[in-house]
DNA sequence: ATACAGTTTGACCAAACGGTCAGACCAATG
DNA sequence: CATTGGTCTGACCGTTTGGTCAAACTGTAT
């Protein structure tokens, strides 16, 4: 009677995969059961309804995405290194959990009512707050220009996340091949870091 | 026997609204019929199947979004004004057609197979090409730093579009109220313009 | 009036959907 | 061996889904 028996785990993993791939409405309970290798009735045995299963999946992914950005940002690292690590961390995570990220974004917009319920199950948003504070300090120190930390972080996340979410659009509009696009992604961390540092660093 | 009879138009508009709101799987034919004020059978009379109707909707929106960014970019405007107008244009459009943009992004990722069919029905992607060329020129002139025009445009679009698509996430992570977020959106054009110009302008 | 092509619909269909339930299965305990 | 409690399922249910079709309804030209 573990919190995660083998079957429950298999179901949950299958549900994550399929929900991320096809969204809430596009995912059928039978498909989850098939992928998990159990009967549809067992689904309802472990998770009472589709909505409950869905909510748990979203909660799990959101929590994972938020807490995953944490770590290794010490107080004594200079602003350049801080931003570089931040960008690198965000980009790698978004690239690794591409579909999951897009899924959470999309479904959170559609089912805004669920958000209130989901928030309570999530622990740490403190990491971001920490970074916001550090940026505020740097600004007072005069190493970076006057910019609201929120604006700066949004800019950074935007530049990291957008190419990953907009791949088909970018390829279409820019007439890019798969190869060219992959090159673009590979140089992306450097591009965003340079761009950001040039934008906010106060030069002597 | 117009290309758009009154009924056909009503159906198409209803379809756009509902598809944008609920996605492909979340939109039911009966709901479209109800919203258009006609019978479900009439839907199939004008558009043979749900897939065909869906494809036409995506095609129409994608074409609209792409061609809508055009206009008023003359050759003699300086780089600062060019970027400011570009950012302003993108941001206003994305803000105006927020749901449509998100919808096209999401469904284009899911149904990547349809993209090949859809591309053929779209005329002008030339506007972007024009801007890419102009940026290349400025770079050679030495007014802006060495950055691939594609990277620059992606950065700009990213910073414009991301806050609009990630509203719930941002509010959650940054602990923002509706009011604070609206303020953030209102200053966004200025923020992105300043940020971008500082990042790419060669200073004397 | 009649004929005709385009439009619109109620009634209908097979398939798929989320969900239920009685009962089979299976270890572990007495 | 018998009982018990958790696990698992085939069969089933009511509803909803995308799609069809013959028939009714328009207006217009003959």
* Domains of chain A and CATH, by start: 73-200 (1.10.357.10)
For chain B, the first-to-last Cα distance in angstroms comes to: 64
Q: Is the CB of B51 under 7 A from strand D?
A: yes
Instruction: Give the closest of A112, A132, A163 to B168, CB-based.
Output: A112
- B2 by Cβ neighbours in 10 Å (0-12 / 13-18 / 19+) ranks as exposed
In a mutational test of the B interface, the residue from A164, A195, A197, A203 whose CB has the highest number of chain B CBs within 10 Å is A195
Higher pLDDT, B115 or A180: A180
Band (pLDDT 50/70/90 cuts) for residue A7 is very high
Q: Torsion over CA of A61, A65, A66 and A72, rounded to 10 degrees?
A: 140
Find the mean pLDDT for residues B106-129. Answer: 79
Contact check, Cβ <8 Å, A108/B168: yes
How confident is the model over B136-164, as pLDDT tens digits? 899 899 999 999 999 999 999 999 999 99
Q: What percent of chain A has pLDDT over 70?
A: 91
pLDDT for position B1: 37
A68 and A123 Cβ atoms separated by less than 8 Å: no
What value does the CA radius of gyration of chain A take, rounded to a whole number of Å? 20
pLDDT for position B2: 41
Instruction: Give, to the nearest 10 degrees, the angle between helix A149-165 and helix A98-110.
Output: 110
pLDDT for position B153: 94
Contact check, Cβ <8 Å, B162/A158: yes
Find the mean pLDDT for residues B21-40. Answer: 98
Give residue B71's region: left, alpha or beta (phi > 0; psi -120 to 50): left
In a mutational test of the B interface, the residue from A151, A181, A204 whose CB has the highest number of chain B CBs within 10 Å is A151
How confident is the model over B50-103, as pLDDT tens digits? 999 999 999 999 989 888 776 566 677 899 999 999 999 999 999 999 999 999
How confident is the model over A132-188, as pLDDT tens digits? 888 889 989 999 999 999 999 999 999 999 999 999 999 988 889 999 999 999 999
Give strand C nucleotides closer than 7 A to any protein Cβ: 6-11, 16-22
Helix, coil or strand: residue A121 = coil
For CA atoms A17, A94, A61, A68, give the dihedral sign: positive
In a mutational test of the A interface, the residue from B91, B173, B174, B192 whose CB has the highest number of chain A CBs within 10 Å is B173
Instruction: Give the closest of B125, B192, B196 to A173, CB-based.
Output: B125
Locate the chain B residue with the closest alpha carbon to A23.
Answer: B25
Q: Is the CB of B29 under 7 A from strand D?
A: yes
Q: Is the CB of A3 under 7 A from strand D?
A: no
Locate the chain B residue with the closest alpha carbon to A125.
Answer: B173
Taking each continuous run of H as one helix and of E as one strand, the counts in chain A are: 12, 0
How confident is the model over A82-129, as pLDDT tens digits? 999 999 999 999 999 999 999 999 999 999 888 878 877 666 566 777
Give strand D nucleotides closer than 7 A to any protein Cβ: 6-11, 16-22
B3 token code pair: 């290309």
pLDDT for position A73: 66
What DSSP state is assigned to residue B144? B
A95 and A186 Cβ atoms separated by less than 8 Å: no
> Using CA atoms, how far apart are residues A200 and A155, in angstroms rounded to an integer?
11
For chain A, the first-to-last Cα distance in angstroms comes to: 64
- B32 by Cβ neighbours in 10 Å (0-12 / 13-18 / 19+) ranks as buried
Angle, CA B21 vertex, CA B178 and CA A163 arms, to 5°: 75
Q: Is the CB of B40 under 7 A from strand D?
A: yes
B86 token code pair: 């570009």
Find the mean pLDDT for residues A74-88. Answer: 88
Instruction: Give the closest of A24, A105, A187 to B169, CB-based.
Output: A105
Nearest residue by alpha-carbon distance to C1' of D6: A1
> Using CA atoms, how far apart are residues B62 and B69, in angstroms rounded to an integer?
12
Helix, coil or strand: residue B28 = coil
What value does the mean pLDDT of chain B take? Answer: 90
As a rounded value in angstroms, the CA-to-C1' distance for A79 and C24 is 65
Band (pLDDT 50/70/90 cuts) for residue B123 is low
């Amino acid at each position: 009677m573990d919190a995660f028996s083998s079957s429950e785990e298999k179901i949950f993993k299958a549900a994550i995969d399929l929900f991320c791939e096809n969204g809430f409405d596009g995912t059928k309970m039978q498909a989850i059961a098939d992928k998990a290798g159990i009967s549809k009735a067992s689904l309802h045995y472990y998770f009472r309804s589709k909505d409950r299963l869905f909510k748990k999946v979203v909660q799990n992914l959101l929590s994972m995405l938020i807490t995953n950005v944490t770590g290794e940002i010490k107080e004594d690292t200079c602003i350049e290194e801080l931003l570089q690590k931040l960008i690198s961390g965000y980009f790698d995570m978004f690239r690794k959990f591409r579909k999951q990220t897009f899924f959470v974004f999309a479904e959170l917009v559609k089912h805004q009512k669920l958000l209130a319920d989901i928030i309570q199950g999530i622990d740490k948003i403190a990491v971001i707050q920490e970074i916001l504070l550090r940026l505020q300090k740097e600004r007072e120190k005069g190493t970076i220009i006057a910019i609201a930390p929120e604006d700066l972080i949004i800019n950074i996340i935007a530049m990291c996340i957008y190419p990953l979410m907009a791949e088909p659009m970018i390829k279409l509009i820019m007439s890019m091949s798969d190869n060219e696009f992959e090159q673009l992604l590979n140089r992306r961390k450097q591009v965003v870091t340079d761009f950001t540092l040039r934008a906010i660093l106060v030069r002597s």
